[in-house]
A and B are shown apart, each in its own frame.
Chain A
Amino acid sequence: DGGITQSPKYLFRKEGQNVTLSCEQNLNHDAMYWYRQDPGQGLRLIYYSQIVNDFQKGDIAEGYSVSREKKESFPLTVTSAQKNPTAFYLCASLQSGANVLTFGAGSRLTVL
């Protein structure tokens, strides 16, 4: 079945450590997105990429980094510069010309 796979589902990190969240899609979608979700709040865009080797900052990119070396993969690194990293992170993809995002199941990051 085609879809988006995020890993790990749960991740714990100590303060000062970087952590990388994986996002892989086999939908052959061109665009990929990373959103952050906090309790009781909507989704906020961190980064997005419309083509390989190109990506743009979203609304809350500070403290995060991404790469898009392959069409299928869009990993997100949460760096130690992110002051409040504990959140639920959602990856999504979109086919060119379409308007509906397909989401992964999410990764919950907790900083201890």
Chain B
Amino acid sequence: GESVGLHLPTLSVQEGDNSIINCAYSNSASDYFIWYKQESGKGPQFIIDIRSNMDKRQGQRVTVLLNKTVKHLSLQIAATQPGDSAVYFCAEADGGYQKVTFGTGTKLQVIP
């Protein structure tokens, strides 16, 4: 079946460095992608989203890149801080939001 997955289950970065979290998706019909951040024992929180008609979208310290040719999504975090330590999920939605498919998540560890 269609699925969303992540290349790296755990990512360790030095404080101040940039982080890149990757995600591969397989449903070519998905037209909306979202990144969520989940801290330990809490629910996921929205970070940034992108529609399939875009290649790049920037937020505060975060950038999402979408490569539809290879069905790849990435989240870039600039100047990573200890507070960025969490599990990051990518998710895809197929028009009308009848159902959203989540990836397995990448744990980001920031080394002080």
**Which A residues form the contact surface with B (CB < 8 A)?**
4, 31, 35, 40-45, 48, 58, 90, 92, 94, 98-106, 108
Contact = CB atoms under 8 A, between A and B. Distances in A.
B41 interface: yes
Contact of B34 (A35, A48, A100): A100
A74 B89 CA distance: 24
B42 interface: yes
Given A58-B99, A99-B32, A99-B34, A43 B42 contact: no
B32 A106 contact: no
A18 to B, nearest CB: 24
Contacts of B27: none
Contacts of A104: 43
A45 B101 CA distance: 8
Nearest to B42: A105
A99 B43 contact: no
Interface centre among A58, A103, A105, A108 (most CB of B within 10 A): A103
A1 to B, nearest CB: 14
